[in-house]
Structure 1
Amino acid sequence: MRAAADERRDLARRGPLRYLNLFRLILAGLFLVAGLELNLGADAPQVFNAAAIAYLAAVLALGFPDAARRFGVDRVITLQTVIDIGVLAAMMWASGGYRSGIPVLMMVVLAGVGLVAEGRMVLFYAALATVAVLAENVWRFVAGERAADFVQVAFVCTAFFGIAITARFLALRAKANESLAVQRGEALAKQQAVNERIIHDMQDGVLVVAADGVVSQANPRAAELLGLTSVDGLRLTDVDENFAEVPTCCSTPEGSLRRLGPAGKLLRCRAVGAQDDVDGQRAAGGETVIYLTDFEEIQTHIQQLKLAALGRLTASMAHEIRNPLSAVTQAAELLTEEKRGDVQVRLVRIINDNAKRIERMIRDVLALGRRDETLPEALPLASFACGLLDEFALRGGAERQVFALDIPGDVTFAVDRAHMHQILDNLIGNARRYCSGAPGSVHVYARVEAGGRVAVHVVDDGPGIAAADRARMFEPFFTTHPKGTGLGLYISRELAEANGATLELRDNAPGAHFVLTGRSQP
């Protein structure tokens, strides 16, 4: 693994090193062709020309990729840098010393080497250039020639280290950014592969449609739903003319139902912009993503669930009806044998109570069967609830003062009137059964929530619902009352859902707290 990492590192450095060798080649050619015209080598032209020829030969010899493979990138960089500094120092001596401007070229070389060298070698190269410049200036000073000011030379030598260190830090930063980019690229490639696999295996069809109506991408499920082998590159209107309406008619979150394609399947279509903004506004001329769902399969699955639920309900009803029927049968047999009048009255009462229990159970099941027969209207809640509470007061089991009503007069609820009567009758009846009976112990109120939805609250001050029973409150035939059928809350929730509303149980406050939430207008 370490050898592989070193190999990747060397490959990453060969690109910048190639450009640095190109700079060296241009510089060597410039020295050889126009060095004397640039007032270089005036003190020793032969030395300058010899250094230029040697420099060009060294650049050509070490610039080939074979040299890096044979000696290693680090050795080639060190050898080239030592030759650069040595040749430039010789040319500086032949051109009049520090004032010739050769140290500036040394700065350029150190900057380039700092981008490709490793570790502390950049400091070694800066130190080597410093020794060369200082040695040349000291030699001139000792020889009595025109030596430069040592303060200026010191500034230049300090710049050697600054440039080398800065170039090294820039190289490290570029390498870190490159490594990060590689990691993110690999993560993006993996995520893209996962997304493509998910889309490929989706049970829904996915079509990516360009602005001209041509399919640019599609998963196999889309072709299967449309009854085609492939839809890539096809114009959707050529597949089915109804696709012309899909981007506009199916842009809602719920979508719409369409029979599309040669197969003629009933599909739920939903169209979204591939580049929709936060507000859901589609960019003009952008791509459109169309989701296709097999609605016939959904209907079949729903039908299977309904049949399974109906089977469980039938089995539960058979079990629940058997108990009161047994009581009725036993009471009838005893009635034929019993001669005392008071006992006969008690047996008749048992028969009547159990017959009424069976009748309530059948009535509730019949109401469940009519849950889809809804006639929603904007029902005025205040007057409707007031009339229902008056009915409770007329039954003789409770007085009107037990109920506290707090519903604004302008609040309406979108619901079928008969369904609403049965839902509130169950909720208020349960609250009255378990409340304390004090004035205002059953509180019925309504509030308008965000989005225009209306919530009807029914709260009592009774003992509340035990934590162990809360999860089963809406199960069919579950009841804590000895004479209850266990279908009231279950059917109430079913009727609420049939009207687009929800019925939920809130925390005890302190008694039971039920909330019916729905739209204000149908």
Structure 2
Amino acid sequence: MLHVNNDEIPADFWRSLNYFNLYRLALVSFILFIAIAFQAERLFGTSKGQLFLLTGWVYAVVVALSFIPMRMRWFKFSWQLAWQVGSDIVALTVLSHASGGIQSSVGLLLMVSMAVAGIISRGKITLFFASLASIAALLEHAFAVLYDDAPVTQYVQVGLLCVSYFAVAGLAHKLAQYALDNQKLAQRRGRDLIGMAEANRLVMRDMQDGVLVVDEHDRIVQMNPSAARLLYNTEAADSMLSESFPLLYQQYAQWKHNTINARVTLQLDGGLQARLRFVGVERDAAQGAVIFLEDMQHAQAEAQQIKLAALGRLTANLAHEVRNPLSAISYATELLQEESGNTRQVRLLQLIRDNTQRINRIVEDVMQLNRRDRAQLETFDLAVFLPVFVDEFNQAERVGSGVLQLHAETCSMVTFDRGHFRQVLWNLCRNALHYGRQLPGSLTLTTGQDRGRVMLDVLDDGSGISVAHQSRLFEPFFTTAEQGTGLGLYIARELCEANGAWLEYHDRLSEPGACFRITFGERRLGKRPVNEHG
């Protein structure tokens, strides 16, 4: 059997041909049923009953056999269409002749075949089928005039029937071309929409701002990673906005009712702030809205980075010029202090020396910002590192016995630059010692794990940090101490981030004091680590 590659033919073409053949089968079955169950002569005006029945049965067999090559794809699509339409022309023409010619109106059934051929073929071959049908109708009537004494005047009716064949075929061809053009346009628009959707997905994924798309029922349709990071929820897609983010939903509902502006600020967990911007899909947000969340911390951090980078470059350039005068002033002050003087002079000299040291510490702290990216990572065990650090800190800071206590789990492996970690931990412990009561157990170092990440808490029993100051706690140059530089916590956080960790402040709700937590490992999207202290 001849097999032809029909993969290039769309599936809907074969489906249409199959439906056409089913119609032909139903038509011939109906004709045979009427001819057998009733008197065909009275229904169809049959003058040649035997020829009518024989042609009907042959036509039915041909239609039934046409399913086989169509299902098996044995021949080309155009050949099978031509075979079906050609068999219709022959069979219906013979049935029309057996029924008395043009007056039986059986030839009108060929219009359906012409229409289907025009729709399925979608080419000029439709006119060829109309020509064949017209030739067959003319030959049938000519045969009837010559041998059956048919009226010559009926040529006019035959001619009108032929014109109808061409009209139906041409109209079906035009409609098919119009449908094909619309289909190509729809496919092109579909590809464009897919491309635009992919571009939107990539843009949303790489945007620094959070983006949430909600539909008209306030259901979250889409959410980018930045929004998941800000809201600490990666599983909110396809959920109700009111259930996943109640605070955000309140702002959104007020915006929908025109009670607030399109730009508001939302306070998030962990001291974060996000500036909200609502954009309706339509003017009245009837089809949903797009919610933008601008990370205020990110914007502030960028501004601070620019300021500190400029300050770092300035400090690096002027460090030599600044330190030389400071060294001279400090040395001269020490010489003057060695000389005997009155109490007022000694106090002023000590004031000069303290301020020169404070200026020198500021210069050193700012210069360390330029070295924060030079981390030499190594893996070590906190259970081994922390006892050595506690001994060094107690000796250097002259801490009383039992004030600093250590609760470290075994095998707490972390990856960090040892020098950076020592500086961060020293800074946190010095602050805790300064603000604590300096009693036994006032300062505690505790290690633990959460979701596979190692955590280190630095706890004190001081008065804690007020809510008003918590949002500015890690800002550079922010301090509540008279002699502080305001760079300690900021540098500690920068060094943690440079080593793939993060530093956060937590209130101790059950006990007085503060808790600074270092969580080791890259920050991931999702829920925040569990806070054991509130």
In the superposition, the TM-score normalised over structure 2's length comes to: 0.52
Check 1:96–1:68 CA distance in 2 against 1; reply closer, same or farther (3 A cut): farther
Say if 1:39 and 1:95, in contact at 8 Å, map to a contact too.
no
Say if 1:67 and 1:76, in contact at 8 Å, map to a contact too.
no
Out of 220-229 and 79-88, give the one that drifted further.
220-229
In the alignment, what sits opposite 1:29?
29
Match runs of 1:299-310 below 5 Å: 299-307=300-308
In the alignment, what sits opposite 1:200?
205
How far does residue 135 in structure 1 lie from its aligned partner after superposition?
1.4
Q: Deviations over 1:310-337 (max 9, x none)?
A: 78999999xxxxxxxxxxxxxxxxxxxx
* Matches of 2:75 and 2:251, distance apart in 1: 67
Match runs of 1:158-197 below 5 Å: 158-197=163-202
Specify which of 269, 275, 287 is matched with residue 268 of structure 1. 275
In the alignment, what sits opposite 1:48?
52
Out of 22-31 and 58-67, give the one that drifted further.
58-67
2:119 is the counterpart of 1:115: yes
Structure 2 counterpart SS, 1:9: coil
Match runs of 1:355-504 below 5 Å: none
Check 1:244–1:169 CA distance in 2 against 1; reply closer, same or farther (3 A cut): closer
* Matches of 2:190 and 2:240, distance apart in 1: 33
Q: Deviations over 1:233-278 (max 9, x none)?
A: 55555556532432156687772222124x34111122233x332x
In the alignment, what sits opposite 1:282?
285
In the alignment, what sits opposite 1:106?
110
In the alignment, what sits opposite 1:84?
88
2:153 is the counterpart of 1:145: no
* Matches of 1:238 and 1:308, distance apart in 2: 42
Say if 1:270 and 1:292, in contact at 8 Å, map to a contact too.
yes
Check 1:272–1:88 CA distance in 2 against 1; reply closer, same or farther (3 A cut): same
Structure 1 counterpart SS, 2:267: strand
* Matches of 2:289 and 2:123, distance apart in 1: 53
* Matches of 1:71 and 1:233, distance apart in 2: 49
* Matches of 2:56 and 2:94, distance apart in 1: 10
Where in structure 2 are there 5+ consecutive unaligned residues?
319-534
* Matches of 2:80 and 2:217, distance apart in 1: 57
Q: Deviations over 1:174-194 (max 9, x none)?
A: 112111111111111111111
* Matches of 2:246 and 2:163, distance apart in 1: 78
* Matches of 1:177 and 1:246, distance apart in 2: 44
Q: Count the aligned residue pairs.
A: 309
In the alignment, what sits opposite 1:326?
none
How far does residue 96 in structure 1 lie from its aligned partner after superposition?
0.7
Check 1:222–1:118 CA distance in 2 against 1; reply closer, same or farther (3 A cut): closer
Query: What residue identity is the alignment partner of 1:292?
Result: L
In the alignment, what sits opposite 1:296?
297
Query: What residue identity is the alignment partner of 2:265?
Result: L
Say if 1:213 and 1:236, in contact at 8 Å, map to a contact too.
yes
* Matches of 1:50 and 1:107, distance apart in 2: 23
How far does residue 307 in structure 1 lie from its aligned partner after superposition?
4.5
* Matches of 1:162 and 1:234, distance apart in 2: 56
In the alignment, what sits opposite 1:136?
140
How far does residue 145 in structure 1 lie from its aligned partner after superposition?
1.6
Structure 2 counterpart SS, 1:291: strand
In the alignment, what sits opposite 1:246?
251
In the alignment, what sits opposite 1:430?
none
* Matches of 1:300 and 1:255, distance apart in 2: 21
In the alignment, what sits opposite 1:255?
263
Query: What residue identity is the alignment partner of 1:289?
Result: V
Match runs of 1:208-223 below 5 Å: 208-209=213-214, 214-223=219-228
Check 1:65–1:188 CA distance in 2 against 1; reply closer, same or farther (3 A cut): farther
Query: What residue identity is the alignment partner of 1:152?
Result: Q
Check 1:240–1:77 CA distance in 2 against 1; reply closer, same or farther (3 A cut): closer
* Matches of 1:26 and 1:210, distance apart in 2: 48
How far does residue 104 in structure 1 lie from its aligned partner after superposition?
0.8
Where in structure 1 are there 5+ consecutive unaligned residues?
318-522
How far does residue 159 in structure 1 lie from its aligned partner after superposition?
1.9
Q: CA RMSD in A?
A: 3.2
Say if 1:41 and 1:48, in contact at 8 Å, map to a contact too.
no
Check 1:172–1:199 CA distance in 2 against 1; reply closer, same or farther (3 A cut): same
Query: What residue identity is the alignment partner of 1:85?
Result: I
Query: What residue identity is the alignment partner of 2:17?
Result: L
Check 1:238–1:264 CA distance in 2 against 1; reply closer, same or farther (3 A cut): farther
Structure 2 counterpart SS, 1:231: coil
Q: Deviations over 1:426-468 (max 9, x none)?
A: xxxxxxxxxxxxxxxxxxxxxxxxxxxxxxxxxxxxxxxxxxx
